[in-house]
Amino acid sequence: MNIIGSKTMETKRLILRSSKMEEQKRLWEILMLPEVNKWYLTSSKKHANDPSHWTWENQEKFYQSKVLKANYNDVFVWSIFLKHEYTDSGSEEVVGQVSAQENGEDITIRDVGWYIDPNYQGKGYATEAAKAMIDYMFKEVEINGISSGAVKDNVASCRIFEKLGFHKIGEVEEESPYTFYDGLLTFSKYELTREEYAYNENNRI
Ligand SMILES: CC(C)(COP(=O)(O)OP(=O)(O)OC[C@H]1O[C@@H](n2cnc3c(N)ncnc32)[C@H](O)[C@@H]1OP(=O)(O)O)[C@@H](O)C(=O)NCCC(=O)NCCS
């Protein structure tokens, strides 16, 4: 595995860059929308009932500490920017984030995550960003695989795994510390091995 960090990447409609403080407040605003944090939080829900925990004033230092580490070579997290041609404002905008985090002791097997501003969902941006990240992680970082998952009812996220050639390994009932939901959730678990990725690439899946 090559520990080479979150290199800037460009796709047809997107630019993926390592995290900078400039866009973090907008990313926090996106994560605070109920339709996003229903499925995804980057901070534990143990503070769910404490509104003061989730204010920007309180969260800013957490975001600053993440940005300080953003250029470390073992960090694989990208802010997703939509090119100006495709935004409502006509200026480049941050619309979400993708990441390929550690997933246990073997750092060559990653967990992936994504979220997109609801104003821009349903246009294929998460798939486009996730594809670029996964290509980079296999081809340049040379990871051995991805082991990840989504709540079964999160149809859009499960669809991304399927479209990108992951195979479903099963379903598990578990609590998630990274949503506001209390109680057991059914997760669909997905994997993509290095061999499967290479096969899919060769067969253009
Ligand atoms: C999951 C998420 C990132 C998808 O973003 P997006 O940019 O809208 O995704 P895409 O446009 O690339 O769509 C992916 C697929 O899901 C489908 N889809 C999108 N929204 C859907 C919905 N609400 N219901 C059913 N399918 C949906 C799309 O049609 C597409 O499938 P297709 O190509 O077969 O038509 C976005 O919904 C989101 O941020 N959700 C909240 C956070 C989250 O769930 N993160 C992941 C946690 S595991």
Q: Is residue 133 part of a domain?
A: yes
Q: Is residue 190 part of a domain?
A: no
Residue 46: its pLDDT value, please? 77
CA–centroid distance, 6 to ligand 1, in Å, is 23
Of residues 137 and 203, more confidence is placed in 137
Q: Is residue 93 part of a domain?
A: yes
Q: Whose CA is nearest to atom 32 of ligand 1?
A: 159
Among 39, 148, 187, the mutation site with the greatest number of ligand 1 atoms within 8 A of its Cβ is 39
**Which ligand 1 atom is the nearest neighbour of the CA of 127?**
12
Q: Is residue 188 part of a domain?
A: no
CA–centroid distance, 127 to ligand 1, in Å, is 8
Task: Give dist(CA 153, CA 169) in Å, integer.
Answer: 16
Q: Give the single-character DSSP code of 181.
A: -
b/e per residue, 85-105, with b = 16+ CB within 10 A? ebbeeeeebbbbbbbbeebee
**pTM, rounded to two decimals:** 0.96
Q: How would residue 205 be classed by pLDDT, with cut points 50, 70 and 90?
A: low
Three-state DSSP state, 13 = coil
**Which ligand 1 atom is the nearest neighbour of the CA of 125?**
7
Q: Whose CA is nearest to atom 41 of ligand 1?
A: 36
Residue 102: its pLDDT value, please? 95
Q: Is residue 102 part of a domain?
A: yes
pLDDT (mean) for 5-12: 98
Of residues 145 and 104, more confidence is placed in 145
Q: Is residue 3 part of a domain?
A: no
Q: What percent of the chain has pLDDT over 90?
A: 82
Of residues 195 and 204, more confidence is placed in 195
Total tally of structural domains belonging to the chain: 1
CATH code for the domain of 90: 3.40.630.30
Mean of all residue pLDDT scores within the chain: 94
**Which ligand 1 atom is the nearest neighbour of the CA of 39?**
44
CA–centroid distance, 188 to ligand 1, in Å, is 15
Q: Is residue 21 part of a domain?
A: yes
Q: Whose CA is nearest to atom 44 of ligand 1?
A: 39
What range defines the domain where residue 88 resides? 9-147
Query: Residues 144-188: pLDDT tens digits?
Result: 999 999 999 999 999 999 999 999 999 999 988 777 777 899 999
Query: Residues 35-90: pLDDT tens digits?
Result: 999 888 766 777 878 889 899 999 999 999 999 999 999 999 999 999 999 999 99
Please report the sign of the dihedral spanned by the C-alpha atoms of residue 131, residue 132, residue 136, residue 137. negative
Q: Is residue 172 part of a domain?
A: no
